[in-house]
Amino acid sequence: MLCGIDEAGRGPIAGDLVMAGCVLHTEIQGLNDSKKLTAKKREKLYEEIVRNSRYHIVKFSAQKIDTLGISQCITSGLKEILENLPADEYLFDGNSTFGVKGLQTMVKADGKVPEVSAASILAKVVHDKDMLKLDELYPQYNFASHKGYGTALHVQMIKKHGYCDAHRRSYKIKALQPSLF
């Protein structure tokens, strides 16, 4: 029995890092890398995955990421998934185990291995729903459109309104750094 693991929200400058581990009970048609699916298709598959799997989701806030660093958060998330989701094998999308024993990796596993695809979808849907909630709390940042990524509009809104609690202050944004010249 394989547990697939993936994350969503590693690169954004705002919002939570969301990690998911998933053990499928049955074959699910249409699974793929969450980034290659439409939001509507992800939502539909999310519901099917929840009904037909055992899964564990871990979140790290912007403040936790700022305190521990993204790598330590990923390490902690991987360990928590391994502790809470029994399986014979664990496969993490990417090329690093982050020092976690008993874990295998595969680049682009989220598009090749159904369990990792399912974990990718779980993490992405949870992350995106959280960003919509943040958009309601902080409408001036337009989180619904860019999902926390450092787009030109997002950086412009930070320049105008400053940071909010959802921002990762440890992420250095070149456009917000003082110029030396």
Domains recognised in the chain with CATH numbers: 2-129 (3.30.420.10)
Token pair for residue 114? 């159904």
Question: Which whole number is the average pLDDT over 8-36?
Answer: 95
Under DSSP, the state recorded for 14 is B
pLDDT greater than 60 at residue 179: no
Beginning with the edge strand found earlier in the chain, give each strand of the sheet holding 104-106 in spatial order: 53-60, 17-24, 2-8, 89-93, 104-106
Tell the burial category of 61 from Cβ atoms under 10 Å away from its Cβ (0-12, 13-18, 19+).
middle
Per-residue pLDDT at 16:
97
Per-residue pLDDT at 172:
78
Coil vs helix vs strand at 59:
strand
Residues 167 and 158: beta-carbon distance below 8 Å: yes
Per-residue pLDDT at 135:
96
Mean pLDDT score across all residues of the chain: 94
Model-level pTM? 0.93
Q: Give the confidence band of 181 by pLDDT, cuts at 50, 70, 90.
A: low
